[in-house]
Each structure stands twice: as C-alpha cells, then as structure tokens.
Amino acid sequence: MNSPHTADWHIGQLFHECDRIYEHQQFLNWLLETLVSEQIDVLLISGDVFDLSNPSAAYVKMFYTFLNQAVGTNSDLQIIITADNHDSAARLESPNPLLESSNIHIIDFVEKKGDGSIDYPKLIIPLKDLQGTAINQSNHRCILCNGEGHAEVDFIGPDGQAHTATRRIRWARNKVDGALKPNAIQLTHKLSGTVFPGKKKETADEIERLVDLNSEQFTRAVMLAHGDFTAFSKAAKDEKSALLEKLTGTRTYSKIFLQIFAH
C-alpha cells in the first residue's frame, strides 16, 4: 500500500506580508501528479491544512478544488484529513456529508462515550488498496510494500557506549506474495561496528539489559514523552514507580531509603 503522510500545509500563510498562494498552488499541482505517477492508495493530511482558522474564500476554494481533482483522476483514492490547532475543526468538517461519498474523510473532534472514554469505533476508517482489497493494521503488506523493512534505534547504554538496535522483517524472496519470515534482531556497537554474537533471544535480552527497560516499560516511556499519559496511567502502581525511578535516575536513592527504613 502506498500512503504518503503529509501535514502542515498552512494554506494562506503570508511570508513577510507576501502572499504565498502561488507556492501553495505549485505544491498542490506537484502532489496531484505524484498521486497518479506513484499510484497512491491513501493520502494522509495530518492537520494545519490552513494557516488561519478562518481562511479566505480563495484559499478554501484552492483546497477543495485540489480534493476534487485528486479523486477525479483516481476514483479509488482515499483521502483522510485531520484538523490541528491552526484549523477550525467545525469549518473543516462541515462538507463531510458530501466528501465522504468521494472517499474523503475528515476527522476533527474526538468523540467520547457517556462514561467519558474515547469512542474509538467512530475514529476507525476502513482502508482499501487500489485493487479494492481491505487493509488492516495486522496486515504487514501495508507497510512492507517492497518486500522488506526495518527499524533502528540508537541509544547510549549504562556503560556510556553508543549502540544501535535493529529489527528487520521481510517476505520470503522479498516478494509481497511470499510467506512472512521471522523477524531478526541485531545489536551493533556504533564505534567499533561490532555486532553482538548472540542468537535472537540472547540479543533481545542484551538490549533490555543495556536499555534497562523491558519492552512494556519502554513503550510506556515513549508514550509518556509524547504526551500520551493514558498509556502511563494504565500501569500498575508499582510499575509506575519502577518506571519513573529508572527514567529519573532516582532508583539508587530509593534503595538507600529502604535500607535506612529497615534499620
């Protein structure tokens, strides 16, 4: 699946009082050509479509003309748009009843249930590729369109040394119609280039030792740094304490306190 992720168009922005409408139009023209040449399945537009919450009629016309041209050149294209702080969510969403018939979806407000929890089903938009095949988040073909993929994280361990942890996944014969092969994990010392010689389980354990966080703790720590306090708040009390001690480096002081208290 080809799904380019764009954001922060800021249509209508002025640069030192100079109107940038020509630049924005050239960008939209280029994007229209790219949608066709790259056979895009889904276009994601993540917030700040406009620079002001109350854009002029000319800028609004430019944006909706682009949407009309995009689906006009490819009726199977899906476009998903979310609002951000520069946009008026209500204004952006107002033509939704018309746009949804053209596979254009605008998400502005995060609706909640009566108990205050997020109504996730209302945020879910089914995706299909250009062949009409439904795509879900568990289907690795939506991200491994070239047959393989990998993710890398650079970190500094407690020994003060820099390391790179790499996880790779691929299809057999690097073809998307092949069987999914077991993922591979590699740990590399950045300075020397030396690869940790252990097997998959041993490598995973060594990464956990160096990071000093298990997989679940690492996930919660990342979510906390990105402002997602919900994931952190769901942790058990003891787990929150352990995680915060590790992140803030106060675990040693907790041990000293416990020893003093014991005596």
Q: Are strands 162-170 and 184-189 parallel, antiparallel or unpaired?
A: antiparallel
43 & 102 share domain: yes
99 & 180 share domain: no
Q: What is the pLDDT of residue 12?
A: 86
Q: How far apart are the first and last CA of the chain?
A: 63
Domain boundary among 188, 211, 234: 211
Q: What is the pLDDT of residue 227?
A: 47
Is pTM beyond 0.75? Reply is no
Q: Are strands 104-107 and 127-128 parallel, antiparallel or unpaired?
A: unpaired
Q: What is the residue whose two structure tokens read 């060594």?
A: 206
Domain boundary among 108, 141, 174: 141
Q: What is the pLDDT of residue 149?
A: 76
Which regions of the chain are under pLDDT 70? 1, 89-90, 94, 109, 128-147, 174-180, 216-217, 219-263
Q: How far is CA 162 from the centre of its chain?
A: 26
201 & 104 share domain: no
174 & 197 share domain: yes
Domain boundary among 123, 141, 159: 141
Q: What is the pLDDT of residue 26?
A: 95
How many angstroms separate the CA atoms of 176 and 147, rounded?
5
112 & 131 share domain: yes
171 & 124 share domain: no
Cα dihedral 52→58→59→65 (10° resolution)? 150
Q: What is the pLDDT of residue 121?
A: 77
Q: What is the pLDDT of residue 17?
A: 84
197 & 219 share domain: no
21 & 108 share domain: yes
Domain that holds residue 176: 149-211
Q: What is the pLDDT of residue 240?
A: 61
Q: What is the pLDDT of residue 239?
A: 65
How many angstroms separate the CA atoms of 222 and 39, rounded?
34
Q: What is the pLDDT of residue 34?
A: 92
199 & 251 share domain: no
125 & 197 share domain: no
17 & 135 share domain: yes
| Span 27-42, pLDDT tens digits | 999 999 999 888 888 8
Q: What is the pLDDT of residue 262?
A: 67
Number of structural domains, the chain? 3
61 & 14 share domain: yes
Please report, for the domain that includes residue 77, its CATH number: 3.60.21.10
